[in-house]
Copies of this chain bind each other. A is one copy, B any other.
Amino acid sequence: MTESGKKSPMPSCIKDGWFSEIEPMWPGQKLSIALEGFSSDAILYNESSEFQKILVFKSAQHGNVLVLDGVIQLTENDEFVYQETITHLPMMAHENPKNVLIVGGGDGAVLREVCRHKSVEQITLVEIDQKVIDVAKEYFAESTAIAFDDSRLTIVNQDAAEFLEKQNASDRKGYDVIIADTSDPVGPAESLFDPSFYEQMYEALNDGGIVCAQSECFWTQPELIENIFACSSDIYDAVEYASTYVPTFPCGQIGFLLAGKGNGLDLTKPARPMTNELKHQLQWYTAEMHSASFVLPKFLEDRLGLLRPTDEDYEDVEENDASEDCFLKGCVIS
């Protein structure tokens, strides 16, 4: 491990005062973000952890920016959209979430959103890379990393697939909500895009429990989304896909797989009213936005609509195994 905060030479993704995101997952396009003052002095952190390259810079217009392996994870100015959506969709679709698992989420922002729910008694955050948490605490101390001292929190530094496999083999109580706040399916998050991980999450849920997983962009990864959706429909009793706007993500769009355990779940509507306190804390999510997030473009609805599990599927669900290795089949990233 290297000393936290030590500045390293200019990374290759920064040139002439601009950071550019070039990635084979979205060929032929790149978003660039200006560094403050177009100066390398705005690079706050630039080191490799055991798992990935971590870069933090102060931008001209977007606040501090966190980049992992060359891919923008968040900017302080717009991160609220992603965090509120991935968190409050499953939390509000559940009637009374008490025990919550966050997979990844080392920047602390999903944790911040989960902590806003008073019903929650226990939060487990399984982040493989402690360095991401350390960096967030130092450079995002007033934005994303404000809830790491919550008394309900337990942090585990482990691959989440291994963690769940061991936990499922034990008698520990299950989760009401699992939020898979992962990076893209290359690098340290690869195991979290495997069908077996979706089976482990299903097993780890209480009855009535809900998973919400970061599930890529419908412009760049429609095959991946279709594969995740199809496999999840074999495993879970209710499966939906939601979408939201994130201006500094590729194509300005990101989607989420929502999947539930138990009969009669409607993931597309809040299961209860929001408290006034929660309403005032949020900038993006509303009850109306919850439902609207699940309305998909016709081209995507045409691909996913027929794959949704039906009530008949529910009877057989214990018998089904998702076919292995199907998520990445036919995808650009495979």
Contact = CB atoms under 8 A, between A and B. Distances in A.
B20 A29 contact: no
A273 interface: no
Given A252-B252, A292-B292, A298-B283, A29 B31 contact: yes
A59 interface: yes
Interface residues of A, number: 42
Interface string A140-174: 00000000000000000000000000000000000
A60 B26 CA distance: 11
Given A32-B30, A60-B28, A299 B286 contact: no
A49 interface: no
A188 interface: no
A306 to B, nearest CB: 15
Contacts of A283: 297-299
Contacts of A249: 252
Contact of A247 (B78, B253, B288, B289): B253
B295 A289 contact: yes
Contacts of A296: 289
Interface of A: 18, 20, 27-34, 59-62, 78, 81, 219, 243, 245-253, 282-286, 288-289, 291-292, 295-299, 301
A253 B284 CA distance: 15
A72 to B, nearest CB: 11
| 5 interchain residue pairs of minimum CB distance | A252-B252, A28-B61, A247-B251, A292-B295, A28-B60
Integer count of this chain's copies in the complex:
2
Given A252-B245, A252-B253, A253-B252, A27 B60 contact: yes
Contacts of A288: 295
A289 B20 CA distance: 33
A282 B296 CA distance: 13
Contact of A20 (B32, B59, B246, B252): B32
Contacts of A282: 298
Contact of A252 (B251, B291, B301): B251
Given A252-B253, A284-B298, 5 more contacts: A18-B30, A32-B32, A248-B251, A283-B299, A284-B299
B33 A297 contact: no
Nearest to A18: B30
